[in-house]
Amino acid sequence: MAHAHDHTHRSANRRALTLALALTSGFMVAEVIGGLLTGSLALLADAGHMLSDAFSLALALFAVWLAGRPATPQRSFGYQRAEILAALANGLSLVAISVWIFVEAYRRLDDPPEVLAGWLLVIALLGLVVNLAAAFILRGGEGESLNVSAAMRHVLADLAGSVGVMVAGLVILITGWRYADPLVSVFIGLLVLGSSWPILRDSIRILLEASPRGIDPDEVGRNMASLPGIKEVHDLHVWTITSGFPALSAHVLVASGDDCHARRRELEALLHDRFGIEHTTLQVDHEHEGQLIELEMPERRPAARGRPFEG
């Protein structure tokens, strides 16, 4: 059932990303032509961000396809981390495009060129419609997939950029103040830069195998140790394989003579029902069964065992 749900979820994300990519790529060409004809940096900056949108959507689409490939003996989790790598790449591309906007805006502040404000407004309005449509298409998968969320942030930042371009066009059309164009470009760059931070933060957290957001390992350990018959929980690790796929492993001690399998099933039910963790690896042993010999390679540092949780 979990596999079927995962397949359905990826199929829906693939369709949404394909439609959004077609919309974004088509309008990106129109913005580049419009920016060159009108002489607007704000429009070219928005087109540059549209280019990063198209790249991010294409990368996200490829990652969804790659993550859906079956696992192999060498890759027991398949390619599911491909979506996290794509999210990281998209976050970095947001930073790169914001730096380009800042550099171009600084150059144009010295001598802002003439801008055809009327055409600028028309193209920016069309861009607003396109970005609204793309955001509407992607809205379903944003909460469940960091990969789709990264693509969505590209689209939302460009949506705000279209609004900024419209403001610049109105100011130039009404007042003739040409500095509005590069100044609005700086504003767009700041929006793009700000939107990159959550994606970079969350993708790096997953790649470094930090505990999932919203799950406190200490709370998990205390709840596990509080079950009847559980004497101690140690070597507890909680991490994320990919978006929406938390995993847990732990060593559990139960009372001598207790039913290890029954206690394991109770722990699995607790972890599933209270914390939403389905993928668990639990080593359950009887208390005081004897000491295990721990072999350690001399050139490697021992793994941190962490604080045990006692029942």
Residues 175 and 285 in one domain: no
- Total of domains in the chain: 2
Residues 202 and 246 in one domain: no
Q: Identify whether 212 is part of a domain.
A: no
Residues 28 and 116 in one domain: yes
The domain of 164 spans 2-207
Angle between helices 41-67 and 82-109 (to 10 degrees): 170
Residues 201 and 240 in one domain: no
Residues 96 and 130 in one domain: yes
Q: Please say which residue of 187, 207, 227 terminates a domain.
A: 207
- Give me the tens of pLDDT residue by residue for the chain, a chain 311 residues long: 444 445 556 677 888 888 888 888 888 887 788 778 777 766 676 677 677 778 878 888 898 888 888 888 888 888 888 989 998 998 898 888 888 888 888 888 877 777 777 777 887 788 788 888 888 888 765 556 788 888 888 788 778 777 887 888 888 888 888 888 888 888 888 888 888 898 899 999 999 999 998 899 999 999 999 999 899 999 999 999 988 889 999 999 998 888 999 999 999 999 999 999 999 999 999 987 554 444 454 454 444 455 677 76
Residues 46 and 139 in one domain: yes
- CATH for 14: 1.20.1510.10
In degrees and rounded to multiples of 5, residue 247 shows phi and psi of -135, 155
Query: pLDDT value at position 299?
Result: 52
Query: pLDDT value at position 1?
Result: 42
pTM of the entire structure?
0.75
Residues 91 and 147 in one domain: yes
Residues 44 and 193 in one domain: yes
Checking 217-222 for CB contacts under 8 A at 24+ apart, the result is 220/248, 220/271, 220/275, 220/277, 221/250, 221/309, 222/309
Question: Which stretch of DSSP H or E encloses residue 233?
Answer: strand 230-242
Query: pLDDT value at position 4?
Result: 43
Residues 44 and 172 in one domain: yes
Query: pLDDT value at position 10?
Result: 67
